Amino acid sequence: MTTSTTRVLALLEILQGGGTRTVADLAARLGVDERTVRRYAGHLLELGVPVESLRGRYGGYRLAPGHRMPPLMLTDEEALAVLLGLLVAQRTGPVTASGAASESAAAKLRRVLPKALGRRLEALLETADFTAPPRSAGAREAVLLLGLAEAARDRRPVALGYTDRRGRSSERTVWPYGLVAHGGRWYLTAADPSAGPATDPSAGPATDPSTDPSAGPATAPSTDPSAGPVAGPAEVRTFRLDRVTGMHVLPGSFESPPDFDPVAAVLDSLAGAPWAHEVRVRVRAEEHHVRRHLPPGLATLSPLPPEDGADWTEVRLRAERLDWIPGVLAALDRPFVIDRPPELRTLVTSLADRLTMYATASAPEAPAPDDH
């Protein structure tokens, strides 16, 4: 690679650092005169790199957004960070791009890594494994994610098509508040002005503003003539992005509640999903002790008034099956009272009887040693 080509690429790397760079600064960093800097900038423009020239006292050069991403100049550490992020996201993260897109992007980076760094990365890929299988995703989900994110930022209502876990389809208008990545999936938290039931039982019921101060009532849209205000309060709902069948942004705008926390809304919604059993248990322990065994997406915890000088915490959760809950209660190692359902008491008693039997059983006699 010629010296001039190397310096043109060095100019690109400097400009990718962001901001406007004066010609004098660029000339000093590249070790050339200002006329040569202008010639190098012209070479980048000929290659399709969107370089902007700014005139005036504080003028210079900067990169402008282009139709296509310009060639990236990454350090070894930056390239490794991007590549590892792609590989790990395919396995453990909420991937929204297609597997082919992720793999092709990773392959391009691997081809240009220095040999020594490439060998170290290959060693990592050959010896590392993941406990979770990769989750398939397509370009459609990526388009939905970007579209909903833009609507949430600009406070624009959205017409949403949705299919719940039972295969029921619906069309509704929502006010997107935010997007949350949780458990390898993306969730949309949004206000639903309609008064119907929760859209997706697996994603969680509507948050009741009267009982959940973290959610609060949705604020009515602004009086945009093209949209018009929606009468009455709106309930906050959670939608799984992979079950969204379509969306388009509508005219008008809305105001989101102050201090609304999308993460808390999604976790509360998941913890309150309407499964087969509703469980209420009072535990004689502080909330932080119970939380170590029951994360926010699994259970809702509420402190209770102290009794006999001890802290009590109410645990509320919903579950399709109860057989795993006795083991969690045993792991708490604290006194507890089961309020509902009655069949949970039977399961806990059965587990206690089995543990007692295991603990008191005599060990089998060891076989006699063979004399031969």
What is the reported pLDDT for 127? 75
What is the reported pLDDT for 89? 67
CB within 8 A of 354, min separation 6: which ones?
none
Q: pLDDT by residue (tens digit) across 231-262?
A: 335 788 889 888 899 899 999 999 888 888 88
Residue 92 banded pLDDT, cuts 50, 70, 90: low
What phi, psi does 116 have (nearest 5°)? Answer: -65, -45
- The sign of the torsion formed by the CA atoms of 56, 61, 62, 66 equals positive
Residue 281 banded pLDDT, cuts 50, 70, 90: very high
What is the reported pLDDT for 318? 82
Q: pLDDT by residue (tens digit) across 42-83?
A: 998 888 888 898 887 767 898 887 656 666 677 777 777 887
Distance, CA of 24 to CA of 170 (rounded, Å): 60
235 or 205: which leads in pLDDT:
235
Q: What is the DSSP-derived secondary structure letter of residue 190? A: E
> Does residue 165 carry a pLDDT above 70?
yes
% pLDDT > 70, the chain? 76
Q: pLDDT by residue (tens digit) across 322-370?
A: 999 999 999 999 999 999 999 999 999 999 999 999 998 877 776 766 6
Q: pLDDT by residue (tens digit) across 18-31?
A: 788 999 999 999 99
CB within 8 A of 292, min separation 6: which ones?
none
Tokens representing 359 are 């603990």
Mean pLDDT of 164-189: 86
- 96, 103, 76, 278: which is closest to 187 by C-alpha? 96
- 62 alpha-carbon distance from chain centroid: 33
Q: What is the mean pLDDT of the chain?
A: 78
> Does residue 220 carry a pLDDT above 70?
no
One-letter-per-residue 3-state SS of 244-304: EEEEEECCCCCCCCCCCCHHHHHHHHHHCCCCCEEEEEEECCCHHHHHCCCCCCCCEEEEE
The Cβ of residue 55 has, within 10 Å, a number of other Cβ atoms equal to: 7
Q: Are 290 and 301 in contact (CB under 8 A)?
A: yes
Mean pLDDT of 126-135: 67
What is the reported pLDDT for 242? 84
> Does residue 279 carry a pLDDT above 80?
yes
Residue 209 banded pLDDT, cuts 50, 70, 90: very low
> Does residue 215 carry a pLDDT above 70?
no
Distance, CA of 258 to CA of 233 (rounded, Å): 15
Tokens representing 194 are 């309609």
Residue 100 banded pLDDT, cuts 50, 70, 90: low
% pLDDT > 90, the chain? 30
Q: Are 302 and 243 in contact (CB under 8 A)?
A: no
